[in-house]
Amino acid sequence: MNRVELQALAEKETERQQQFRCRLLCCSSTPCVSSGALPVQEIFQQAIKNNQLTKEVQVVPTGCMGPCSQGPLVKVQTHDQPDVLYEGVTPAVAEKIVAKHILQDGAEDSVTERHALSEQIPFFTRQVKIVLANSGLIDPERFEEYVMRGGYHALAHALREMTPEQICDEITRSGLRGRGGAGYPAGLKWGLVRKSPGAKKFVVANGDEGDPGAYMDRTIMESDPHRVLEGMAIAGYAVGAEQGYVYVRGEYPEAIKRLEKAIRTAERRGVLGSRVLDSNFSFRVDIRIGAGAFVCGEETALMASIMGRRGQPVPRPPYPSESGLWGYPTLINNVETFANIAPIITRGAPWYASIGTEKSKGSKVFALAGNLNTTGLIEVPMGILLRDIVYDIGGGIPDGRTFKAAQTGGPSGGYLPATHLDTPVDFESLKALGSIMGSGGLVILDDKNSMPDMAKFFMEFCMDESCGKCLPCRVGTVQMYRILDRFTSGTATPADLKKLEELCVMVKETSLCGLGQSAPNPVLSTLRYFREEYEAQINERAARLALAENGGGQ
């Protein structure tokens, strides 16, 4: 396949879709499937078959549409009419959608009106979709639909009209920073790998997100797998690699299935494998499935796992750009980073750099969770205010309760109190307040939440996920968890508070890898902004002891 054939395929798919008078886009991402999307799709399919409408009506299983808490979601597209999005579609509601849009019986229907979800609400209008541009609009398992929306055209352009140096420069000028958490400039990393000598080089997509409540990378892989593969292929050409690996958590079966199918189709179509798009460049992609260890999100542990070894981190340097997989230069970016590449190549670095802030360019995908009226997957411009995410996109706190804190960055991040609601959400601003961007988990807490409880929750996670290689992390997280347990059980003393702070500093400064170095962050941020809750626990214990010494107040 070449560039001309890609364009012809895109035009053919466009013509195919135009023959349908009605298309039912049914969200088939994990959240919607878990809330009953598959029986809804079966009702649509059966109605089409029973009424012999297979040439007029099409059911399209898509990726995530965004408001996951409102699923199952169905979008109806008909000729010459605005799209209609439905939320909370049960089998009973699906029957009403069949009558209204498939059979077109013309009857007034209050059920579908109640379940219609306007796409003019802030949840949708405040977003800027780059990575998620295709999500919810295409069947992720159909190569033709991806190509119809410009898929693999960036790769064709890069192979025919750009040198590897020009690609690295373009990514550098765009200002794209790694979306895995550290925020390292992507173009700089690519340039280092390109310049590193080596008989072989590798490209790795890190899809091992393990933060509680985070599902950005999973959704990207489920919703638009070809976008990730195209970004990896462009990276392979830019740095001189002919082999790529996608490292995916074993808990993501749907993402694995769709990636496997996408790779097979891409190879068959000639956009992966030997002589990509009739060029002299060859690039193969294989999947490696992780066993669910959080520490394998760290790049050196991830590489060890790919090579069949125990997933434990090793000291750096050397860095992967010099000596990675099997001692060869290796480029590692997370899934979302690769999903940004094709749009940058297609639309240019100045376009991408015009979005976001001076030092944090582009958009960021967040898994918005917690105590909000609307939760789900969002993509917003860097620098958007936290307040706008909470009250505009998320619809505010339910039941009239008060915003208390936002937790960013998962177990490696921290908490931002209400006094920082007007903080821009970007790399620098979050770091200055003792938190991090992380891979994109964003959990909103209200006034019912106890901050010592939240700190204990994340410390328990870090304690369980510690690989045990270094003493500070292996033992320090256990000791911090035990102290936090005393706070939540009401038995903590002033000495415990002092010891907790000392342990946080020790673990942070002496642990081997990022897991241990960042494990104290949730504790430190709660001590920084909610210290009074820890002190209240100590004071309540002292009051109980004093009462007991006085005979229970008798």
Flag whether pLDDT at 554 surpasses 70.
no
Please give the CATH number for the structural domain made up of 451-544. 1.20.1440.230
Please state the three-class secondary structure of 366-396 as a single string.
Answer: EEEEECCCCCEEEEEECCCEHHHHHHHHCCC
- Beta pairing, strands 414-417 & 330-334: unpaired
pLDDT at 545: 87
- Between the CA of residue 385 and those of 62, 381, 471, what are the distances in Å? 30, 10, 39
Flag whether pLDDT at 540 surpasses 70.
yes
User: Cis before residue 317, ω within 30 degrees of 0?
Assistant: yes
The span from the CA of 132 to the CA of 339, in Å, is 9
Flag whether pLDDT at 178 surpasses 70.
yes
pLDDT at 411: 86
Angle at 294 between CA 507 and CA 418, to 5 degrees: 65
Mean of the per-residue pLDDT values for the chain?
94
Angle, nearest 10°, between helix axes 186-195 and 225-239?
A: 50
pLDDT at 171: 98
Residue pLDDT, tens place only, 124-138: 999 999 999 999 999
Mean pLDDT of 408-413: 87
Residue pLDDT, tens place only, 469-523: 999 999 999 999 999 999 999 999 999 999 999 999 999 999 999 889 999 999 9
Tell the residue number behind the tokens 């040439």, with chain if given. 55
Flag whether pLDDT at 15 surpasses 60.
yes
Band (212; pLDDT cuts 50, 70, 90)? confident
Residue pLDDT, tens place only, 260-301: 999 999 999 999 999 999 999 999 999 999 988 888 988 999
What is the distance, to the nearest Å, from the Cα of residue 268 to the centroid of all Cα atoms in its chain? 29
Band (209; pLDDT cuts 50, 70, 90)? confident
The span from the CA of 60 to the CA of 23, in Å, is 7
pLDDT at 406: 95
Please state the three-class secondary structure of 93-120 as a single string.
Answer: HHHHHHHHHHCCCCCCCHHHHHHECCCC
Residue pLDDT, tens place only, 145-154: 999 999 999 9
pLDDT at 552: 59
pLDDT at 107: 72
User: Where in the chain are the domains?
Assistant: 16-124, 143-353, 363-446, 451-544
- For 363-446, CATH number out of 3.40.50.720, 3.40.50.300, 2.40.50.140, 3.10.20.600 equals 3.10.20.600
DSSP tag of 401? P
8 A C-beta contact, residue 214 and residue 441 = yes
pLDDT at 375: 96
Mean pLDDT of 4-27: 95
Mean pLDDT of 376-398: 97
Counted residue by residue, the chain has a size of: 554
What are the beta bridge partners of residue 185? 177
Residue pLDDT, tens place only, 322-334: 999 999 999 999 9
Residue pLDDT, tens place only, 84-101: 999 999 999 999 999 999
Residue with the bigger pLDDT between 500 and 554: it is 500
- Between the CA of residue 71 and those of 18, 24, 30, 253, what are the distances in Å? 27, 15, 10, 20
8 A C-beta contact, residue 193 and residue 239 = yes
pLDDT at 259: 98
What sign does the dihedral 359-364-369-374 (CA atoms) show?
positive
The span from the CA of 339 to the CA of 156, in Å, is 16
pLDDT at 211: 82
Please give the CATH number for the structural domain made up of 143-353. 3.40.50.11540
Candidates 505, 402, 516, 430; CA nearest to 470 is 516
DSSP codes of every residue in 207-253:
E----TT--HHHHHHHH-HHHHHHHHHHHHHHHT-SEEEEEEETT-H
Amino acid, single-letter form, for residue 471 = L
Q: Hey, what are 407's tokens? A: 């937790």
Flag whether pLDDT at 553 surpasses 60.
no
pLDDT at 105: 84
DSSP codes of every residue in 6-38:
HHHHHHHHHHHHHT-SEEEEEE-SHHHHHTTHH
Mean pLDDT of 230-241: 98
Class of domain 16-124: alpha beta
Q: Strand 57-62: give its sheet, edge to edge.
A: 57-62, 22-27, 74-78, 84-86
Tell the residue number behind the tokens 């390292």, with chain if given. 184
pLDDT at 546: 86
Other beta carbons within 10 Å of 366: 24
Mean pLDDT of 173-180: 95
Band (438; pLDDT cuts 50, 70, 90)? confident
Burial 49-86 (b: 16+ CB within 10 A, else e): eeeebeeebbbbbbbbbbbbbbbbbbbbbbeeeeebbb
Residue with the bigger pLDDT between 329 and 441: it is 329
- Between the CA of residue 358 and those of 170, 250, 343, 345, 423, what are the distances in Å? 17, 38, 20, 20, 15
